[in-house]
A and B are shown apart, each in its own frame.
Chain A
């Protein structure tokens, strides 16, 4: 039986480009996780309270959001491949700055440069992924985002092992920088050399055109759901370690396992999400993810037992993993 639009074979250069984009997604997750999983140690090293730490993250967030407003134009002007090469220098380089930081100013500076580099890489690697996906006529974006989660899981495990081995932050980050430099120097060579679209803000392949008129009700609900999803994601990614270190006085290695548990749940869900949706339907996947996230956040934040807290973050990650992809679908 003939099939409509069968998956096409990628050329050898496209296959190499796909491998490079996969490596970029993986390394992006791994590099971020290397320092996020060690946040409590960094907080202690720069000597600030948890309240000031929150303000530092907010300050970096303000600059990150501002940078994201111009990132599309920057990617368009410079090109996705060069953005990924330059951005990788930024993320890898600032890892050293973050690791060496002993004052809040240096830490925020590092976080700021990291955030600007990261947001540009994020746009560029998603664009290259979507172009290759369109050529192949087989969706690869879910797998690419799963690869990011897998990279974050590996980076988090590395951070936990480094903390358990008593490796200092600068020593750990130097190892990550060396590994990342080797992998990224290899992978960026095979990225797509030219961009397909003249405009980086153009809709991604398969995306529905933007509606001409906005429906206030559904749009408000979508924004509300998006904010809620981001809060739950950040609760697991940026605060799981503090829940363990500050509430249970765990070792740094155990605290970083909070991040690892969250990322493990997220990775499993992202890898298996398509299968579950195909097998049980979209509604079942949606409500299962809502229940998992709700149970997970309650257990992770309120149950006074560190193993159950770890389990809570694992369950939270498995539920939250589906939230943003669903919202992107709904928005389209």
Chain B
């Protein structure tokens, strides 16, 4: 889990050093993270027996 601490600065710094703005670089990395969190923590549907 802690590897996320290494991924974010490398990716955002790398993307922002191209022609992208910091906002766009953050959006590329962080918006999918919000989606991932929502999907990973959604309650499981009831199991039909």
**A residues near B37, Cβ cutoff 8 Å:** 225, 228-229, 232, 290, 293, 323
**A residues near B40, Cβ cutoff 8 Å:** 221-222, 224-225, 228
**A residues near B26, Cβ cutoff 8 Å:** 235, 239, 243, 297, 300-301
**B residues near A298, Cβ cutoff 8 Å:** 27, 31
Q: Which residue of B lies closest to A291 (CB)?
A: B38
- Chain B, interface size category, equals 20 to 34
The interface-forming segment of A6-14, A61-69, A121-129 is: A61-69
Q: Which residue of A lies closest to B30 (CB)?
A: A235
**B residues near A231, Cβ cutoff 8 Å:** 4, 7-8, 29-30, 33
**For the complex, is A226 an interface residue (Cβ under 8 Å from B)?**
yes
From the candidates B4, B22, B34, name the one contacting A290 in the complex (CB within 8 A): B34
B23 contacts A232, CB within 8 Å? no
**For the complex, is A171 an interface residue (Cβ under 8 Å from B)?**
no
**B residues near A293, Cβ cutoff 8 Å:** 34, 37
**For the complex, is A54 an interface residue (Cβ under 8 Å from B)?**
yes
Which residues of A in the span 211-254 have a Cβ within 8 Å of any Cβ on B?
221-232, 234-235, 238-239, 242-243, 246-247
Interface centre among B4, B16, B24, B30 (most CB of A within 10 A): B30
A230 to B37, CA, bound (A): 10
Number of A residues near B (Cβ < 8 Å) is 49
A282 to B34, CA, bound (A): 19
A64 contacts B9, CB within 8 Å? no
From the candidates A50, A52, A62, name the one contacting B6 in the complex (CB within 8 A): A62
Kindly supply a per-residue 1/0 record for chain B positions 8-36, scoring 1 wherever the CB is within 8 Å of any chain A CB and 0 otherwise: 11111110110001111011011101111
**A residues near B21, Cβ cutoff 8 Å:** 246-247
> Which 3 A/B pairs are nearest by Cβ-Cβ distance?
A54-B13, A51-B17, A57-B9
A: which residues have CB within 8 A of B? 49-55, 57-58, 61-62, 64-65, 68, 221-232, 234-235, 238-239, 242-243, 246-247, 283, 286, 290, 293-294, 297-298, 300-302, 309, 323, 326-327, 330
Beyond A55-B13, A226-B4, A235-B33, 8 additional pairs, beta carbon < 8 A? A51-B13, A54-B16, A55-B10, A228-B40, A231-B29, A235-B8, A238-B8, A286-B41
